[in-house]
């Protein structure tokens, strides 16, 4: 072997070791770059409600006790252990998915990871004390668990199952999306044949069932009540209020039914957020404890009274939610409830929290979204193009199955969040990065296919030329 050949071989060996080593260290650090720059984990409107579950011992609407316990275990280290677990979990899910879908070169994996970090909400989700990072990742783990488990080891199957179950228990919206995907798998099984096994579908349903048991157990342990996380009726009522349906129902029925809101029917706030979380009559009437039964009554009966209006409002809300994908909603310097919870229950962290850049309004999400929003919307269009091309070619391969699952997840997320809670950018941003990920997988596989069929240099071209 010549010196030059030996040198080249040595460089290739060093590169084959260096790239995965760099990726293993660099990707998690870059995923946590927003929090590291901030000086403290990023906070959001809802963070305080989750943190308080351990201390307050009662159930609060839309605040999972499972996620509250997860945060509690990271309190001694100012939650940096939580962020570290989120970053490592993100790296593991991304790398496992890329391996399963044939993106095996370390350079391409690193390139995909860096592209996601630079152009999507992924690092902001990983750097935040919120359930949102688990929403998108759990779609990928469910896909691997249900449709591609034969390409994973028994340990990976166990981890995929555990992660999916935990993620579903952290937020009712995530639970609904994953349950919907399992039902879709059951529905499409006759058409997909061997691509979906009954055992895989059973694993998906089992993971969702375990998540439900996990949530019920956590609720019972912390509150003494064997109950689901409350708040569904109130949140749905808020969306109907925002659409004008509640005001119409009160005007049409207050002469027949005595309701607490009747005297306020001409003073209702314009948005659900103003009603539920602002200084509205909702506070005067006892908030969820005093209004839950009435909000449920109005929501159910308004659905019966105005079915066409409700259907139109649901369609509009779903379409609006699909387009609301900006990063950073609710992550700013005005979070009085979250600040209050930290100062009350974690006073030793109050100074670090108050000194963080977020609390000084130093995060410019407008600049961030000049990149994130076009990439998100463009990726969804490309996702539809991938599915359209596969349909036209009548070809169902692995990537098409993944693309179809992600499309269903985005649609299901938009329907659940848009119809129940009303459209919010936060709900879109936590899932839409999946479409960018699928597009990057397609691009990587295209380059790999070109390389397989490309002649390797001058000698390959000469060898392929027939002699005369």
237, 299 Cβ separation under 8 angstroms: yes
207, 439 Cβ separation under 8 angstroms: no
d(CA 41, CA 86): 12
User: If you write DSSP's letter for every residue of 407-465 in order, what string do you get?
Assistant: HHHHHHHHHHHHHHT---HHHHHHHHHHHHHHHHHHHHHHHHHHHHHS--HHHHHHHHS
C-alpha distances out from residue 103 to 95, 122, 162, Å: 9, 20, 25
11-20, 221-230, 367-376: least confidently modelled range: 11-20
In this model, does residue 3 exceed pLDDT 80?
A: no
Q: Which of 65, 75, 90 is nearest to 41 (CA)?
A: 75
In this model, does residue 422 exceed pLDDT 90?
A: no
* The pLDDT of residue 462: 45
* The pLDDT of residue 467: 35
**Secondary structure class of 16 (helix, strand, coil):** helix
Name the band, by pLDDT with cuts 50, 70 and 90, for residue 12: very low
d(CA 191, CA 207): 24
Q: Which of 386, 433, 394 is nearest to 413 (CA)?
A: 433
Query: SS in 3 state form for 177-197?
Result: HHHHHHHHHHHHHHHHHHHCC
CA 300 to chain centre: 28
Q: Which of 120, 124, 119 is nearest to 43 (CA)?
A: 124
- Percent of the chain's residues with pLDDT above 70: 92
Tokens of 53: 């579950």
Condensed to tens digits (0 to 9), the pLDDT of residues 307-356 reads: 999 999 999 999 999 999 999 999 999 999 999 999 999 999 999 999 99
The residues near 258 (Cβ < 8 Å, ≥ 6 apart) are: none
422, 238 Cβ separation under 8 angstroms: yes
Q: Which of 87, 88, 109 is nearest to 98 (CA)?
A: 109
185, 201 Cβ separation under 8 angstroms: yes
C-alpha distances out from residue 173 to 87, 120, 415, 418, Å: 22, 21, 10, 10
Span 256-273, average pLDDT: 88
Span 61-83, average pLDDT: 95
Span 27-36, average pLDDT: 96
Condensed to tens digits (0 to 9), the pLDDT of residues 202-249 reads: 999 999 999 999 999 999 999 998 888 887 677 788 889 988 999 999
Q: What is the mean pLDDT of the chain?
A: 90
Span 63-90, average pLDDT: 97
- Ordered by start, the domain boundaries in the chain are 19-227+334-454, 231-305
Q: Which of 198-212, 289-303, 447-461 has the highest mean pLDDT?
A: 198-212
In this model, does residue 275 exceed pLDDT 90?
A: no
The residues near 31 (Cβ < 8 Å, ≥ 6 apart) are: 86, 87, 90, 91, 117, 122, 123, 126, 127
Q: Which of 412, 461, 391, 345 is nearest to 181 (CA)?
A: 412
In this model, does residue 24 exceed pLDDT 80?
A: no
In this model, does residue 455 exceed pLDDT 70?
A: no
In this model, does residue 446 exceed pLDDT 70?
A: yes
Name the band, by pLDDT with cuts 50, 70 and 90, for residue 291: confident
In this model, does residue 14 exceed pLDDT 50?
A: no
The residues near 213 (Cβ < 8 Å, ≥ 6 apart) are: none
11-20, 201-210, 221-230, 295-304: least confidently modelled range: 11-20
User: Phi/psi at 434 (nearest 5 deg)?
Assistant: -60, -35
151, 193 Cβ separation under 8 angstroms: no
In this model, does residue 19 exceed pLDDT 70?
A: no
User: If you write DSSP's letter for every residue of 325-351 in order, what string do you get?
Assistant: --TTTT-SS--HHHHHHHHHH-GGGHH
- Going by the DSSP 8-state scheme, the letter that residue 150 receives in this structure is G
C-alpha distances out from residue 222 to 56, 73, 229, 292, 309, Å: 9, 14, 12, 21, 40
User: Which residue blocks in 101-153 are alpha helix, DSSP H?
Assistant: 106-119, 122-126, 132-147
User: Phi/psi at 228 (nearest 5 deg)?
Assistant: -75, 160
C-alpha distances out from residue 193 to 11, 63, 150, 163, 396, Å: 46, 39, 16, 27, 11
C-alpha distances out from residue 240 to 122, 203, 245, 247, 271, Å: 31, 36, 5, 9, 10
Condensed to tens digits (0 to 9), the pLDDT of residues 113-153 reads: 999 999 999 999 999 999 999 999 999 999 999 999 999 99
């Amino acid at each position: 072997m010549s010196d030059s050949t030996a040198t080249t071989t040595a460089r290739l060996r060093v590169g084959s070791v260096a790239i995965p080593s760099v990726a293993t260290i660099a990707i998690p650090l870059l995923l946590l770059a927003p929090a590291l720059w901030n000086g403290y984990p990023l906070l959001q409107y809802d963070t305080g409600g989750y943190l308080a579950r351990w201390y307050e011992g009662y159930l609060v609407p839309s605040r999972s006790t499972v996620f509250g316990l997860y945060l509690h275990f990271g309190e001694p280290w100012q939650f940096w252990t939580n962020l570290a677990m989120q970053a490592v979990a993100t790296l593991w899910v991304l790398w496992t998915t890329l391996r399963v879908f044939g993106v095996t070169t370390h350079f391409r994996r690193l390139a995909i990871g860096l592209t996601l970090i630079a152009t999507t909400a992924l690092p902001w989700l990983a750097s935040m004390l919120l359930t949102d990072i688990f929403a998108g990742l759990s779609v990928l783990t469910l896909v691997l668990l249900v449709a591609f488990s034969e390409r994973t080891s028994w340990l990976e199957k166990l981890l995929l199952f555990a992660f999916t179950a935990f993620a579903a228990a952290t937020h009712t919206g995530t639970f609904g999306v994953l349950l919907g995907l399992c039902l879709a798998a059951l529905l499409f099984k006759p058409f997909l044949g061997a691509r979906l096994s009954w055992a895989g579908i059973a694993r998906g349903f089992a993971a969702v069932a375990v998540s439900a048991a996990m949530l019920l157990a956590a609720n019972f342990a912390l509150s003494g009540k064997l109950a689901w996380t409350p708040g569904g009726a109130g949140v749905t009522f808020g969306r109907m209020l925002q659409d004008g349906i509640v005001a119409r129902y009160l005007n049409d029925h207050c002469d027949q039914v005595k309701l607490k809101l009747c005297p306020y029917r001409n003073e209702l706030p314009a948005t659900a957020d103003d009603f539920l979380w602002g200084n509205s009559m909702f506070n005067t009437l006892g908030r969820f404890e005093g209004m839950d039964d009435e909000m449920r009554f109005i929501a159910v009966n308004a659905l019966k009274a105005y079915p066409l209006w409700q259907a139109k409002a649901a369609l509009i809300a779903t379409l609006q939610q699909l387009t609301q994908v900006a990063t950073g909603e609710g992550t700013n310097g005005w979070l009085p409830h979250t600040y209050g919870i930290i100062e009350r229950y974690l006073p030793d962290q109050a100074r670090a929290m108050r000194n963080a850049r977020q609390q000084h309004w130093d995060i410019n999400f407008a600049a961030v979204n000049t990149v994130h929003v076009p990439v998100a919307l463009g990726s969804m269009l490309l996702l539809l193009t991938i599915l359209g091309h596969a349909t036209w070619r009548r070809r169902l391969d692995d990537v098409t199955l993944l693309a179809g699952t992600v499309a269903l997840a985005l649609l299901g997320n938009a329907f659940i969040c848009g119809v129940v809670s009303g459209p919010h950018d936060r709900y879109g941003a936590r899932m839409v990065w999946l479409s960018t990920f699928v597009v990057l997988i397609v691009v990587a596989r295209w380059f790999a296919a070109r390389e397989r069929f490309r002649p390797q240099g001058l000698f390959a071209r000469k060898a392929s030329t027939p002699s005369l």
